[in-house]
Amino acid sequence: GAVVSQHPSWVICKSGTSVKIECRSLDFQATTMFWYRQFPKQSLMLMATSNEGSKATYEQGVEKDKFLINHASLTLSTLTVTSAHPEDSSFYICSAETSMNTEAFFGQGTRLTVV
């Protein structure tokens, strides 16, 4: 299957700082990438859909000014958590699709801890 690389795999940051998470499709061009958040023992929650060259589409309740998404190329999307707070601590996962009717390939996930 296609490979999606997510970096970093874990990060600890101080409250009030910003953290950037990268999601790269290594062997295919991903016109669409998705960002999810998952709290312990809970299901995946879609945060936003990222389309190359256009603004991301955010799910209801997700603050677009807090979670900045950039999809500058067909192989890279970034999620920046701005002014992070302890309640933002979670497991963030990206996925990419080669076309809209195929399976999603997931990155390894990033565990964010805000102290």
| Residue ranges in contact with another protein by CB under 8 A | 1, 6, 34, 42-44, 46, 49, 91, 93, 95, 97, 100-109, 111
Name the residue nearer to another protein (CB basis): 34 or 67.
34
- Rounded to the nearest whole angstrom, what is the least distance from the CB of residue 83 to another protein in the complex? 26
Give the Å distances, CA to CA, from 54 to 4, 20, 30, 104: 21, 19, 13, 20
- Compute φ and ψ for 46, nearest 5 degrees: -70, 130
State which residue, 76 or 82, has the beta carbon closest to another protein.
76
